[in-house]
Amino acid sequence: MTRGHAAALCAFLLWGFLPIYWKTIDHVPALEITAHRLAWCCVWVVGFLCITRGRAWLAALLEQPRVMAALTLSAALIGVNWFLYIWAVNSDHIVETALGYFINPLVNIVFGVAIFRERLNRAQWSAVAVAAIGVAYMTIAHGRLPWIALTLAMSFGLYSVVRKQVNVPSVTGLAWESAVFLPFVTAWLVWIGWQGEGAFGQTGLLTDGLLIIAGAVTAIPLICFAFAARRVPLSTIGIMQYMAPSIQLLCGVLIYGEPFTAVEAVGFACIWTALAIYTADGAFRRWRLAPKPI
């Protein structure tokens, strides 16, 4: 296994088992966890960049006001995504969060068509249609939209759209995105701490440590992913990315006993079929374009 493959494996394993981490501090309100995640993520990521790149990364950003504006928008989108994800996990909706991240690649396809005028072939349209059937079936069977899954997929999809148009390294972008929130979340955390309502410093050293490490838990898989993306073929990354929601699904069902009924089985089967069609089509097209031995 190369270092790139090892880094990718590390990233997807960490993302997959992340629900267990949030579950250990589910006695802390989701909004407070998210605030700590943003604040400590900024500390960890900015510290990493200062050690590895000095202040050059910040100087380069400050010279690009349009990039900073775009990253401020992406910060709002990722903030919504993080809060909803943590709330959903700690409210016993891990299975639905996994569904959201299975749907996300297909949402990206739709955004590619709607925003970037990308064209789909028949197999890709079939994948989108099968996924839509799965979501529609679960909506009708349960009598409600799987809104957690759809909101997670849409918010991260829109986040990807914004970041696609910004030419900045992922770790540098995350540093600015978390820095945007830093003054606000720090002020709020200090205020609720002063009021005696915050968990930090009130519920034990273990909770305090886990809240601080939440920044590293956020930053480390992203750094690993950025390292892997430069060294591993995107086709391999595309297949490996499904490890994370698969592990999340198993955590929800096997560890926390969340229900996985026949309705979920049919819905997930549609999503998995759609992903299989899309992945197979991409692999076939790459095979056709690859140079053939003489």
pLDDT per position as a tens digit, 233-250: 666 676 777 888 889 999
Least confident of 119-128, 227-236, 246-255: 227-236
Average pLDDT, the chain: 87
Interval 130-182: pLDDT, tens = 888 988 888 888 788 889 999 999 998 898 888 888 888 888 888 898 999 99
Report residue 120: phi and psi, to 5°: -110, 145
The whole-angstrom separation of Cα 178 and Cα 185 is: 10
Residue 30 confidence (pLDDT):
93
**Residue % of the chain over a pLDDT of 70:** 95
Q: Locate all alpha helices (DSSP H) within the chain, ordered by sequence.
A: 3-24, 30-53, 56-62, 65-90, 94-116, 122-142, 147-164, 170-194, 205-229, 234-240, 243-250, 262-289
pLDDT above 90 for 232: no
Residue 157 confidence (pLDDT):
86
Residue 290 confidence (pLDDT):
67
Least confident of 6-20, 97-111, 245-259: 97-111
The whole-angstrom separation of Cα 43 and Cα 3 is: 26
DSSP state of 144: S
Residue 292 confidence (pLDDT):
58
pLDDT above 80 for 29: yes
Q: What is the mean pLDDT of residues 275-289?
A: 77
pLDDT above 80 for 275: yes
Residue 36 confidence (pLDDT):
93
Interval 70-97: pLDDT, tens = 999 999 998 999 999 999 999 999 999 9
More confident of the two residues 282 and 160 = 160
Can you state the angle between helices 243-250 and 94-116, rounded to 10 degrees?
Answer: 150
Q: What is the mean pLDDT of residues 264-291?
A: 81
SS (H, E, C) 242-282: CHHHHHHHHHHHHHCCCCCCHHHHHHHHHHHHHHHHHHHHH
Sign of CA pseudo-dihedral 198, 200, 98, 102: positive
Q: Could you tell me the two tokens for 124?
A: 């890709």
Sorting pLDDT into bands at 50, 70 and 90, what band is 291? low
Sign of CA pseudo-dihedral 168, 172, 174, 175: negative
Distance of CA 163 to the CA centre of its chain: 13
Sorting pLDDT into bands at 50, 70 and 90, what band is 107? confident
Interval 168-187: pLDDT, tens = 888 888 889 899 999 999 99
Question: What is the DSSP track for 3-32?
Answer: HHHHHHHHHHHHHHHHHHHHHHTTTS-HHH
Most confident of 25-34, 192-201, 274-283, 284-293: 25-34
The whole-angstrom separation of Cα 126 and Cα 284 is: 15
Sorting pLDDT into bands at 50, 70 and 90, what band is 294? low
Residue 121 confidence (pLDDT):
83
Residue 235 confidence (pLDDT):
60
Q: What is the mean pLDDT of residues 213-221?
A: 89
Residue 173 and residue 127 in contact, taking contact as beta carbons nearer than 8 Å:
no
Q: What is the mean pLDDT of residues 33-61?
A: 89
